[in-house]
Amino acid sequence: MVVGDTSRLDPRLAEQFRTAGLTHLLVVSGANLAIVIGAVMGLCRAVGLDRRSAPPVVLCAVLAFVVVARPEPSVLRATVMGMIGLLAYTSGRQRQGVSALSAAVLVLVLIDPALARSYGFILSVLATAGLLVLAPGWRDRLRRRLPGPLADAVAVAAAAQIAVAPVLVMLSGEIGIVALAANLLAAPAVAPATLLGALGALTALVTVPVAQFVVWPAGLAAGWIAGIARLAAALPYATVPWKNGGLGALSLLVAGAIAVLALRSRRVRLVMAAALAGVLIGVIALRAIMRGWPPPSWAMVACDVGQGDALVLAAGPGRAVVVDAGPDPRTVDACLDRLDVREVPLLVLTHPHADHIDGIAGVRQGRAVRTTLTTPRSSGREARLGRGLDIRAALPGQRWNVADLTLSVLGPLSVGPHLAGTDDGSTINNASLVLVARSPGFSALLAADVELEAQRSLASLVPPVQVLKIPHHGSRSQDRAFLAAARAPISLISVGKDNDYGHPSPATLSLLQGLGTRVYRTDKAGDIAVTRTAAGLAVVQRG
């Protein structure tokens, strides 16, 4: 919170901060400088310094903060924005503040034109503009009904959140419903954590024992904020989906403008309040009668990990076999958390491509991983990422049993030489482990990323199954005989939204349609669960 260094932050906690709308607390922003400047100005007034004497002291404090936080471009931008925002907001000179902000933006962009394409810079400018344009009027209105400090806190949090909402929607494709409440609850602890953390960093240069004493209450404040993030992220519908990109931002602005115009009428406000109350009651009732996630009796889940693979096969309460780990530890860890997986008796890494193995740390996060299987042609990259794991090569014909789940190794048929860093992508893909998973009432062919050559060599060995994981994210490189041999009524494609590869290929989707299989995609459905029912297998989509 002081220097914006998140390198050792738990990825799960970082995701909870994002969901709760508190990510801005993890980076150095104008808010950090505003807190420091405000505290120093308060101390100056307390000791009797006048307006002429206080600015040099404040400037020294700002320079000290920049040294502690490191004078990186983001810190320097935050310094400019924080000083402008605070000085204009506290002085009540909003017009001068907007002019100063505009001048600062022009100067910074002239110095570094790349800022014009920086979302971090845009968010910083918009948040500051919100404080200058929206917060003062809202604060004055709220003070008629709320105590002064509470009115200030609500006005500042709401103004900043509203100002940055279009850009956040454009980036994430979702709206944070709990963000305002989470920011209000976290706000009282932000200043103690920031100020005492910065003071502790400076004190540590002189005496570490005293610094430890100083940062102890800062730790309590940071713990409160982390607790708010966890609580807010765990709430149902903490975020709701919205169209991303420029169209999403524009539609949100239009919706906001319509809402503002509608709320000017008292009658419309009453109608909207009644409608929202009805929707809220309906959502609560629907939530009460609907089954949560994961659905009962799930046999397999394709995790939404973006452009990559991570499949989870049920192996008893709190236990699952994981096939591939996706490209990002955070996404696979979050998926396993949602499934309440606490132990992974078997981790299968089909081939050493980043979109299948870079998330290994997420699978291991807080879980015991017993045995890890790799392709017999492994390059050894899996071992480097999974230090300390019991790693074994899976050979064709081998079977692995975990509870009532059986995994049979179908390929690769040719063991051949170990893969090298110079091998092309198709060579590595064709060395993938291809597995058949079976448990009572469930069977699946997990085809990893095998392409035409490997698919053709395996086609005669493919048994009929109920679920087919389409190879290589639905790329164009598919053999009809291989896919048809599975006779699977359900096909899953693990693929990232708006990926650069054009996956899944329209030709592949057309081929699957011709085979009569129902296709489900993680880029559209989110996590996809295959569950056992009295009538057979069913598919439940989380997205």
**pLDDT tens digits for range 79-118:** 776 666 556 555 555 456 677 778 778 888 888 888 888 7
Mean pLDDT of 349-366: 95
Euclidean distance between CA atoms 410 and 433, whole angstroms: 7
Segment among 240-249, 300-309, 401-410, 427-436 with least mean pLDDT: 240-249
Identify which has the larger pLDDT, 444 or 200: 444
Mean pLDDT of 315-320: 95
Radius of gyration of the chain (CA): 27
Identify which has the larger pLDDT, 136 or 286: 136
Write down the pLDDT at residue 92.
53
Among candidate residues 74, 75, 77, 62, the one with its CA nearest the CA of residue 108: 77
Residue 6: which pLDDT band, with cuts at 50, 70 and 90? confident
Write down the pLDDT at residue 510.
95
Percent of the chain with pLDDT over 90: 43
What the block records as the tokens of 261 is 């115009």
Strongest mean pLDDT among 209-213, 248-252, 320-324: 320-324
Write down the pLDDT at residue 302.
97
Cα 304 off chain centre by: 11
Write down the pLDDT at residue 93.
54
Contact 412, 454 (CB under 8 A): yes
Percent of the chain with pLDDT over 70: 88
DSSP per-residue string spanning 442-465: EEEEE-TT--HHHHHHHGGGPPP-
Helix (H) or strand (E) run with residue 188 in it: helix 179-204
Euclidean distance between CA atoms 199 and 205, whole angstroms: 10
Identify which has the larger pLDDT, 372 or 155: 372
Segment among 57-61, 327-331, 513-517 with least mean pLDDT: 57-61
HEC profile for 11-79? Answer: HHHHHHHHHHCCHHHHCCCHHHHHHHHHHHHHHHHHCCCCCCCHHHHHHHHHHHHHHHHCCCHHHHHHH
What the block records as the tokens of 178 is 């709990």
- Between CA 292 and CA 297, with CA 293 as vertex, the angle to 5 degrees is 100
Write down the pLDDT at residue 32.
65
Q: What are phi and psi of 516, to 5 degrees?
A: 75, 20
Contact 524, 302 (CB under 8 A): no
Write down the pLDDT at residue 34.
65
pLDDT at 197 over 90: no
Write down the pLDDT at residue 17.
85
Identify which has the larger pLDDT, 51 or 181: 181
Mean pLDDT of 53-80: 72
Write down the pLDDT at residue 259.
76
Residue with tokens 């997986």: 341
pLDDT at 316 over 90: yes
Q: What is the pLDDT of residues 454-493, one digit of tens each?
A: 999 999 999 999 999 999 999 999 999 999 999 999 999 9
Write down the pLDDT at residue 284.
64
Among candidate residues 67, 32, 82, the one with its CA nearest the CA of residue 195: 32
Instruction: Provide the mean pLDDT of the chain.
Output: 85
Q: What is the pLDDT of residues 407-442, one digit of tens each?
A: 999 999 877 788 887 788 899 999 999 999 999 999
